[in-house]
């Protein structure tokens, strides 16, 4: 029980999912296993559960994860107050970026509001919303498209930098005369 209380608050949706889905079933399974007679009959479901958990952990560690900490470091190094961030269509990096950037930087980055779990209206998902800022970061995991068609930014903004970090791409678009960084 103490384990999920130590999860950073930005991942509240993970904690909620754990508490309301996985935890009650675990308690029911544990109760059933303890009360099965003969005692050896409880070993079979327990073994299946442990093998399933081990298999899930193996799958987790064999799956390449997005280098979100490195993506956040690139954004944190170059961000200025009032910058915006455009995420992918499924906003996969939203909470992880917010976690790695921390509360102060998270509040400064327009479009990274996590105060409402599924409130997509606060994200930069339309060209007018993306063009309100002088600079917009774009953080895309894998080969996912941006929520805003980046070609629509071209008349007002230009690409200032492009960073490839593992499977992730970080772009910076700006309206002012910043020099292009490879």
Give domain limits for the chain: 2-62, 68-174
Rounded distance between C-alpha atoms, residue 129 and residue 108, angstroms: 16
Residue 110: closest CA among 91, 92, 137: 137
Q: Which residues of 92-130 are buried (b: 16+ CB within 10 A; e: fewer)?
A: bbbbbbbbbbeeebbeebbbbebeeeeeeeebbbebebb
Could you give the CA distance from residue 115 to residue 48 in angstroms, rounded to a whole number?
A: 39
> What is the chain's pLDDT, residue by residue, as a tens digit (182 residues)?
555 556 655 555 555 566 566 777 778 888 888 888 888 888 888 888 888 878 877 776 776 666 888 999 999 999 998 899 999 877 768 888 888 898 888 888 998 876 655 555 678 888 999 999 999 999 998 888 999 999 999 889 999 999 999 889 999 999 965 554 54
Contact 136, 173 (CB under 8 A): yes
CA distance 163 to 140: 11
What's the CA dihedral at 83, 87, 93, 98 to 10 degrees?
20
Residue for token pair 């309206």: 175
Residue 6: per-residue pLDDT: 63
Cβ neighbour number for residue 41 with a 10 Å cutoff? 10
- Phi and psi for 33 in degrees, rounded to 5? -60, -40
Helices 94-108 + 68-78 axis angle, to 10 = 20
């Amino acid at each position: 029980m103490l384990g999920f209380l130590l999860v950073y608050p930005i991942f509240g949706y993970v904690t909620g999912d754990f508490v309301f889905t996985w935890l009650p079933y675990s308690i029911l399974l544990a109760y059933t296993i303890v009360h099965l007679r003969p005692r050896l009959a409880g070993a079979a479901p327990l073994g299946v559960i442990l093998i399933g958990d081990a298999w899930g952990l193996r799958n987790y560690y064999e799956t390449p994860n997005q280098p979100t900490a490195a993506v956040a470091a690139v954004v944190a190094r170059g961000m200025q107050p009032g910058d915006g961030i455009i995420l992918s269509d499924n906003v996969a990096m939203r909470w992880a970026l917010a976690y790695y950037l921390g509360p102060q930087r998270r509040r400064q980055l327009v479009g990274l509001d996590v105060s409402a779990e599924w409130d997509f209206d606060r994200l930069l998902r339309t060209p007018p919303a993306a063009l309100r800022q002088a600079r917009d970061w774009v953080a895309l995991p894998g080969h996912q498209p941006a929520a805003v068609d980046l070609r629509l930014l071209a008349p007002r903004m230009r690409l200032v930098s492009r960073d490839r970090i593992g499977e992730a791409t970080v772009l910076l678009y700006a309206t002012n005369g910043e020099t292009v960084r490879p």
